[in-house]
Amino acid sequence: MKKPLEEMRDGQSIELLKELHILTRDGKINQDSRRKLKQVYHLYNFIEPLLKDLAKSDAELTVIDHGAGKSYLGFIIYDLFFKTLGERGHIYGIETRQELVKKSIELQQKLNFPKMSFHSLSVSDSIHSQLLPEKIDMVTALHACDTATDDAIDFALKKQAKHIVLVPCCQAEVAQVLRQNKSKQLANPMTEIWRHPIHTREFGSHITNVLRGLRLEAHGYQVTITELVGFEHSMKNELIIATHIEGPRKRTIERVNKLLQELNLQELSQRFSLPQKE
């Protein structure tokens, strides 16, 4: 069948794109779907080199997608990459909403994608679940709300993931603590940065991702933080990519602790837990 869109990748399952409502039932595409497909491929372009790096080994290649929703990402990764791996790759989708898990299982069976599993678990519960392997190669979490992104980082560290791909969403915890502790820092001119409520929210969101990046660096990851899509598509567009390259970094650990102290966020030190200094 001829590709309905020139940008479609070779080997892409048209049936999958129909099931994901990117293509219509008769294989056509509208402008909104065209934009959605381009965004999906844009994200996949970041992930593909990481998968190729993992595939250099002959070992089982495992990927977990947290907060999978309808599992768009997992199905696209499987279709474009895992189909070529034979029996040595597996994708797990983790989602709390049972009805979405059920639909993903039904779609997996319909498309005959055997090396996929879906489980109804919270991100935090999945850390200790017996349903998942002891070690995972790549962890993804797209638009995991507030502290669920930090739970995904906890999971990745516990499972010794080599690669982590995150798109954080709705960060509220740090902003709340900044707001509560504002009166304790009246003498500190730095508080002007988040004095107004809108700035508290925006600065809280910004500093949350700064701390996440530093936390990963402290654990020995090389971190890249960039834009996923343009602001005209989404305001939640920060993409965090981390690749493990070395052991704990003492200097970064000290910087994180200093930053938490300067912003009076010490009570969140457990949330942004760091490796022990050597």
CATH number of the domain that residue 129 is part of: 3.40.50.150
Is residue 141 in some structural domain? Answer: yes
Is residue 240 in some structural domain? Answer: yes
Is residue 28 in some structural domain? Answer: no
pLDDT of amino acid 231? 40
pLDDT of amino acid 95? 94
Is residue 25 in some structural domain? Answer: no
Q: Which residue, 128, 132, 56, 59, is CA-closest to 91?
A: 132
Structure tokens at 127: 């850390």
Is residue 22 in some structural domain? Answer: no
Is residue 53 in some structural domain? Answer: no
- The domain in which residue 149 lies consists of 59-268
pLDDT of amino acid 97? 94
Residues of the chain short of pLDDT 50, as ranges, are 1-2, 230-235
Count of structural domains, the chain: 1
DSSP, collapsed to helix, strand or coil, labels residue 193 as helix
pLDDT of amino acid 229? 67
Is residue 206 in some structural domain? Answer: yes
Strands (E), the chain: 61-66, 89-94, 116-119, 138-145, 163-169, 221-227, 238-244
Contact assessment for residue 262 and residue 190, using Cβ atoms and an 8 Å cutoff: yes
pLDDT by residue (tens digit) across 104-151? 999 999 999 999 999 999 988 999 999 999 999 999 998 877 788 999
pLDDT of amino acid 221? 96
Structure tokens at 68: 């999978």
Is residue 16 in some structural domain? Answer: no
Torsion of CA 123, 124, 125, 126, to 10 degrees: 50
